[in-house]
Amino acid sequence: MATRWGICSTGKISHDFTMALKTLHAEEHQVVAVAARKLEDAQEFAKKHSIARAYGSYEELARDPDIDVVYVGVIHPYHLSTCLLFTNAKKNILCEKPLAMNIKEVQKILASAKTNDVFLMEAVWTRFFPASVEIRRLLAQGEVGEVKMVKSEFAWPMMHIPRAVQKELGGGALLDVGIYCLQFTCMVYNGEKPESIQATGVCLETGVDETVVVTLKFSKNRIAVCTCSLGMKLPNDALIVGTKGTIRVRQHMWCPTSLEVNGKETQYPLPEPYLPLNFLNSTGLRYEAEEVRQCLLKGLKESAVMSHADSLLLAELEDEIRRQVGVVYSQDYQ
């Protein structure tokens, strides 16, 4: 039986996620409804993607009895209220990253999911790519020996995008793109909490971070360096340095389709979309969708690949980095 998806919001990422679902088998994944704050937007989205039902409110989607899981694609200042709407409606959730604006909000979302006995996962899509699966396998087998350093970067010119630079919209490099670097580090170091965090950054007049550089020190003198920015373009590689070799993600470390292990490169091609995408390699969102299906089939309430503990650690790191850089959102006072 197919996993029946509801799409919450009709923005660019929801378009791409729906496109990714269509690359999977129709007997396993079906989009049955979409909701927006305006009915016209939902109807236009539904027509474009051949979705049977369109709703002009998220509440209507929450009441739909024919939905197994909701994909939450709203901007992150609204993740808390939207996730609580669906958890209280007993709906399983895949919520776009970051799961919330700070750790307090993350804790509220996870607590509600537990109380209502529903599945919930933060949509850190990078973790589910075949290249990421291979990285975890190589590390577990000691292919590069003991990891001594992790370097990752995600810098892309986004200063022209209001969502990226306005505080009330949850702007800032760290929560938008830096999360990819942090989650990669956390994945490599197997969810270990760093012993120390040193962060510095440049903030915009709007009060959000334009560029952030973070150094994290882990046990056994292991180091990670993360760089993120909205104001420049970098190669966007990721590098794992071990005592016996290296693993490098070449370009676009946030959606890896190429992996270089000790100088030998392997490609992981993605399926082609049937409509133009908004973001690079977005058909790769299919992998997190399939993880959700497998978890639901097993009756799980969280994923072992992107667990609730992983989301809590990410939020904790983000809060401390923002504190050091000097970025404060209104949600931090609530």
Using a pLDDT cut of 70, give the percent of the chain over it: 100
CA distance 70 to 160: 30
Query: In the CATH hierarchy, which fold is given to the domain comprising 3-125?
Result: Rossmann fold (3.40.50)
pLDDT at 248: 97
Superfamily of domain 126-262+307-333: Dihydrodipicolinate Reductase; domain 2 (3.30.360.10)
What average pLDDT score do residues 3-24 get? 97
Q: Distance of CA 11 to CAs 14, 74, 267, 293, Å?
A: 5, 7, 30, 23
What average pLDDT score do residues 109-116 get? 98
- Residue 64 confidence (pLDDT) above 90: yes
Question: Are 211 and 229 a contacting pair, CB within 8 Å?
Answer: yes
Q: Distance of CA 312 to CAs 73, 108, 204, 215, 286, Å?
A: 20, 11, 27, 19, 24
- Residue 142 confidence (pLDDT) above 80: yes
The phi, psi pair for 321, rounded to 5°, reads -65, -45
Q: Distance of CA 169 to CAs 13, 166, 176, 256, Å?
A: 16, 5, 11, 28
pLDDT-derived band at 334 (thresholds 50, 70, 90) equals confident
Where in the chain are the domains?
Answer: 3-125, 126-262+307-333
65-85 confidence digits (pLDDT tens)? 999 999 999 999 999 999 999
pLDDT at 214: 98
pLDDT-derived band at 115 (thresholds 50, 70, 90) equals very high
| Strand 29-35 with 53-55, pairing | parallel
232-281 confidence digits (pLDDT tens)? 999 999 999 999 999 999 878 889 999 999 999 999 999 999 899 999 99
Alpha helices, H only, 97-152:
103-115, 130-140
171-216 confidence digits (pLDDT tens)? 999 999 999 999 999 999 999 999 999 999 999 999 999 999 999 9
The phi, psi pair for 115, rounded to 5°, reads -60, -40
Calculate the CA dihedral of residues 237, 155, 126, 33 and round it to 10 degrees: -150
284-305 confidence digits (pLDDT tens)? 999 999 999 999 999 999 999 9
pLDDT at 250: 86
CA distance 236 to 218: 23
Host H or E run for residue 211: strand 209-218
